[in-house]
Structure 1
Amino acid sequence: MITLLIYSLLLCILGVGAAVAYFFLSITKYAGPPAGSPDGDVSVQVLVLGDIGRSPRMTYHALSIAKHGGKVKLIGYLETSPHPDVVNNPNITIIPLPNPPRRPPSIPFLLFAPFKVLYQTLHLTRLLTHTLAPSQWLLVQNPPSIPTLAIAGLACRLRNTKFIIDWHNYGWTILAGTRGRAHPLVALSKLYECFLGRLGDLHLTVTHAMARQLRNPPYSIAQPMLAVHDRPAAIFQPLSPSNPSARAEILARVIPDSARDLLPSLVAGTTRLLVSSTSWTPDEDFSLLLDALVSYASSPTTTPILAIITGKGPQQAHYLSQIAALASSGRLPPSRVRIETAFLPFADYAALLAAADLGVCLHMSSSGVDLPMKVVDMFGAGLPVAAFEGYESFGELVKEGVNGRGFKTAGELVEVLGRLFGEGGGEELEGLRRGAVMEGGRRWDEEWHSKVGMVLGVR
């Protein structure tokens, strides 16, 4: 009952935000219809209620619009450095959102959430209805859906702006991963997202499976919808066969100092380089990879592995302590498997993928119909993958035996590692690499312009 009351308060806050929007609109000098730039170019506001630097798909949207002559206002948090091409593009203006206050550990999430939403609602409302001039299009990432869909949808209706929702996943299924699907908060979030999701004039999805779901109940979206698969950016490139020394040069630059002693064996191929990018959150079960590596290390005949794990997240410290304990106990001997962590600049991360032997993806789709961007990047760099396969849309990206291998358990992952890194596995691994290069050949701008660009009317 308390949860329902708190969440009802949250929804009331959104109602207050709507009233505030009407107020600001009534006094703003920007109450007229949207217009393009003075020279007639398309104008688009791109909104992500998250860190711009860690929102690659929205970054790529902005870059593609700008590349084809559109004027972009890219709105979001500046927690990490945005892509350099965004910063240096004269057609893109970054509009930073103020970071909401952090939740004190002593205050429960359910008590703090309404105040965070109120803070976001007030700032978004003022920005979208008062501070910024109207644009022809407003492109919004979902999730998060609260309060983004309500405020953006209202602003678009009031300012005669076309509303595009880019569905990356569902907010309510992500919440269900931590609260359980039976939780009343999840039920209310689902109702909110399904209802307000229909406000979009155009819907983009990351998979065909997601588009099919959104057409049917409980979403029942009737507006135009395009499946726009994630594609790698130009920075992700496979190694050139014409430059045989490139891999050694990359490894010398990006390998952590604590693993420098492995450089000769990495270059020679007697130690295999495994890379995994993780957000260190519950929806990516790192214990799967950790258990698999412990099992792999128990055999004295397997090829040694250096595993580099990139990314930041809330569970990182927890797993790092586990890794240290396993190494000190002898269950993860450094002579068999060594695990290092890194948080690399964008260019170095792309180079690391190109130089690695295998990528591992632990993404577990909360909705069953999204896809991990990290695998797209790996394919762009020509890196084959071993990926968790327990969701419907998996086959839209990873083709079993062509560009990667799937697994559902740590035991299955051990089998994949043993086969690909074992005696005679080199030929299969090279075949998967060729498949990865082929899959990564179609790039983002080609995918984007043939679908989204045609709708927006950019050149």
Structure 2
Amino acid sequence: MADAAEIVNWVVGVALALSTLVTLFLWTAPSQYDPFAHVKAQGPQAGETDEDAKFANQTRDRLSRSPEPQKTLQVVVLGDIGRSPRMQYHAISFAKHGGKVDLIGFHESELHPEVSSNKNITIVPLVPTPSALQTNSKILFLFTAPLKILWQIWTLYHILGYGTKPAKWMLVQNPPSIPTLAIAQWICFFRCTKLIIDWHNFGYSILALKLGPRHPFVRISKFYERSFSQRADTHFTVSNAMARMLQSTFNIKATTLHDRPASQFQPLTAEQRKTVLERLSETKEYAKDIQSGHWKLIVSSTSWTADEDFGLLLDALQAYSSSARERQSLPNLLVIITGKGPQKEYYLDKIQSLNQEKKLDRMLISTAWLSTEDYASLLGAADIGISLHKSSSGVDLPMKVVDMFGAGLPVLGWGKFEAWPELVREGINGRGFGSAEELTRLLQEVLEGDGKQLQKLREGASKESAIRWDDEWDEVAGKLFKFGRS
């Protein structure tokens, strides 16, 4: 009997504990989305008469039955907002139509001016991951990755569930998919928020670059990404090829929303180019030589990561230097590399060594981290843009090329992946390469001679710049959010 009583007491205790936990959870669960919360929040004002209060109540009641509730959106980036231009563009476009936006992510870099100045956009910064959990070592990665994920889970859950008001829609950048998709699904379920995933690439394919495609973590990541993404309400992709891959691999139907240049990326007139070259610290010493054609200005934007082979560009530049020693018809090069990333210091040391060995004659390679305005100006003043982006999935597209086209800058880029033809028309606005040897040959072909090839590519890039982000967004996302074209 004593044993039976102990069992009963144990069961009752467990039941009480569980019911208490459930009650606490429901009591502290994230609040639900209310499309008319902004109306209900407008309570009686100080000094308001009974007649005024009655009129205000009638107004609030009428507004609460209005077919046009306030449009609200959370844009979520588990990364540096300043280095996520597409997500900033989403926020700007939504806010331009009068919607309210919470832009959530790490606030580490300078933001787009229209983000900072727009009263309809609120920046909600995430707490940065401790530096002790950041590593490039494969061995240490296996130990620090779980801890990093736990940190991100708590930070993201707290901000989305309690640090922000519920919104009608949540637009999440993918990748990273872990833990973003799971947390977003959980919060959207409790808050009655519609989840939209903006596919820039696949998280598991990027992880495969570090661990290999057959690693168990990569397989688990793919299963996770497929499972949690299928429950979203809407999907956008950056390319048609990615939409097809989502359909065939994850059984997800997505709408393509191509990247297009924002308004600050514009072709420059000759006079504007002269002003920019003489103003920027990176170019002013060579401004006259660039304008005369004796030097050519080349720009490449890189994140200094494994999916961009900067070593390939160095190999091509060494080969170009070797040819330029013998062929005076080849111009000197000023090569400016913009961006931040983990492999930057490694390659800077390599560039220094190559200069000491005189393997980069007749050129100067420098790095820069520029404001949005200065970066757009630099692209407009350059002769050639180079993209080193190697797609981990084969179906994502480098936005840097879109920006280059916006500035009327022709592009030479790694083109050995499926989605490349969606962005670049071979021989019209750019050229694709698949090796350092091909890039060397293209540089020589385009830069040597009477300049007709370069001019043809520039004209093609300028025509491409006519299609802008607002046009694409209004046509695709604007319809989803039920915004009329302005």
**Aligned residue identity for 2:442:** V
Q: Does 1:303 align with 2:327?
A: no
Find out whether 1:447 has 2:464 as its counterpart. no
Distance 1:379 1:29, change over 3 A: closer
Unpaired runs of at least 5, structure 2:
1-20, 40-62, 64-68
CA RMSD of aligned residues (A): 1.9
Q: Matches of residues 395-434 of structure 1 in structure 2 within 5 Å?
A: 395-424=421-450, 426-434=451-459
Are positions 1:321 and 2:353 aligned together? Answer: no
Deviates more, 1:108-117 or 1:288-297: 108-117
- What's the CA shift for 1:117? 1.2
Distance (Å, rounded) in 2 between the aligned partners of 1:29 and 1:285: 44
Q: Equivalents in 2 of 1:25, 1:92: separation in Å?
A: 30
* 1:54 counterpart = 2:83: yes
Contact 2:298–2:334 under 8 Å retained in 1 = yes
- Please give the TM-score of this superposition, normalised by the length of structure 1: 0.90
Counterpart of 2:261 in 1: which secondary structure? coil
Which stretch shows the higher mean deviation, 275-284 or 117-126? Answer: 117-126
Residue in structure 1 matched with residue 219 of structure 2 by the alignment: 187
Answer yes or no: is 1:66 the counterpart of 2:95: yes
Counterpart residue number, 2:304: 280
Contact 2:29 / 2:190 at 8 angstroms: preserved in 1?
no
Question: For residues 406 and 23 of structure 2, what CA distance do their matches in structure 1 show?
Answer: 45
SS at match of 1:53: helix
Distance in 1, Cα, partners of 2:473 & 2:359: 47
| Structure 2 residue 259 is the aligned partner of structure 1 residue 233 | no
Aligned counterpart for 1:116 among listed residues 133, 148, 155: 148
Residue aligning to 2:32: 31
Which of these two proteins has the greater Rg computed from alpha carbons?
2
2:340 matches 1:312: yes
1:77 counterpart (106, 126, 133) = 106
SS in 2 for 1:454: helix
Q: Secondary structure at the match of 1:339?
A: strand
Task: Output the amino acid matched with 1:284.
Answer: E
| 8 Å CA contact retained: 1:103, 1:109 | no
Kindly, what percent of the aligned residue pairs are identical? 50
1:381 counterpart = 2:407: yes
Distance change (3 Å), C-alpha of 1:372 and 1:147? same
Secondary structure, aligned partner of 1:282: coil
Asked whether the equivalents of residues 378 and 384 of structure 1 are also in contact (C-alpha less than 8 Å), the reply is yes
Higher relative contact order (CA 8 A, sep 6+): 1
Query: What secondary structure sits across from 1:309 in the alignment?
Result: strand
Change (3 A) 1:357 1:77: same
Q: 1:157-195: CA deviations, max 9, x gaps?
A: 121111000000000000000110011111110110011
Match of 2:169 in 1: 137
1:116 positional shift: 1.5
CA distance in 2, matches of 1:29, 1:121: 15
In structure 2, the residue corresponding to 1:392 is in which secondary structure? coil
Q: In structure 1, which of residues 331, 338, 341 is the aligned counterpart of residue 359 of structure 2?
A: 331
What is the deviation of 1:22?
9.8
Tell me the matched-pair count: 429
Deviation of residue 414 (structure 1)? 0.7
For 2:343 and 2:163, the matched residues in 1 are separated by: 38
Q: CA deviation at 1:127?
A: 2.1
* 1:457 alignment partner in structure 2: 482
| Paired residue secondary structure (1:169) | coil
Q: Name the CA shift for 1:35/1:151 in 2 (closer, same or farther; >3 Å).
A: farther
CA gap 1:360/1:25 in 2 versus in 1, 3 angstroms: farther
Is 1:42–1:457's contact at 8 Å kept on the other side of the alignment?
no
Match for 1:351 among 374, 377, 385? Answer: 377
C-alpha separation in 2, matches of 1:216 and 1:386: 31
CA contact (8 A) 1:36 1:43 kept: no
What per-residue deviation string (whole Å, max 9, x for no partner) do you get for residues 71-124 of structure 1? 101100111121121111011111111112123569922111112111111122
1:372 aligns with 2:372: no
2:320 and 2:169 mapped to 1: Cα distance? 51
Q: Which runs of 5+ in 1 are unaligned?
A: 1-19
